[in-house]
Amino acid sequence: MEPSGTQRQVNADFFTSSYRVVGKVMIPNSGLIGLLNDTLSASIDIVDAHLARSHMPTKLVGSYEIVRLVKHQIIAVCLARREDMGPAAVVRGGFTNMQQYPTLLTTADYEISGALEMPGRFDFSSLVVEGARDFSPAYDVTLTGILIPALKVESPAMLFNKRHVHMAALQNQKRES
């Protein structure tokens, strides 16, 4: 069932543990972040979808009119434009003074390197545990497959599922070998 107030289609790359799904999704006025964090629906429809397996990122598996994804299985969504995430007030959770933290996040399948925005100081527990929304924004991101480094995607905007995050490391705390 489509949410009411759907206004436009956006292109996006959806990453699960086993597939990359590239296609279009209809987003409401609250943007993709509003759609993904909507607790009234457990799935999302991707139209004009192209599938590739994570372990063979350059080989197309198939194309479908519609692919339906279970939201909690989505690890990350890459977007071509920051604006497609949603209105700034929704994306930032209402905060206006945000600090940027260049961060490395890991999941079981991917490394995500990019900038996280948080009010005040960096707080790992509030990032992955607190709050009602599962999907959080990251900016100027590089997503790399852990076991398949040939899978590398750069994106100006990403929504990642914080329930899949295993680790976070601030880039300014990295030691040189």
> How far apart are the C-alpha atoms of 96 and 76, rounded to whole Å?
24
Q: Any idea where the domains of the chain sit in the sequence?
A: 8-82+95-173
pLDDT of residue 2: 46
Q: Is 167 exposed, middle or buried (0-12, 13-18, 19+ CB in 10 A)?
A: exposed
pLDDT of residue 118: 83
pLDDT of residue 90: 59
Are the CB atoms for 58 and 35 separated by under 8 Å? Answer: no
The series of mean pLDDT values per 10 residues for the chain, 177 residues long, is 65 96 93 92 96 90 97 97 78 68 96 91 79 89 94 95 94 81
Cβ neighbours around 112 below 10 Å, total:
26
**Dihedral angle over CA of 22, 28, 32, 35, nearest 10:** -100
Cβ neighbours around 163 below 10 Å, total:
14
pLDDT of residue 1: 42
> How far apart are the C-alpha atoms of 79 and 11, rounded to whole Å?
7
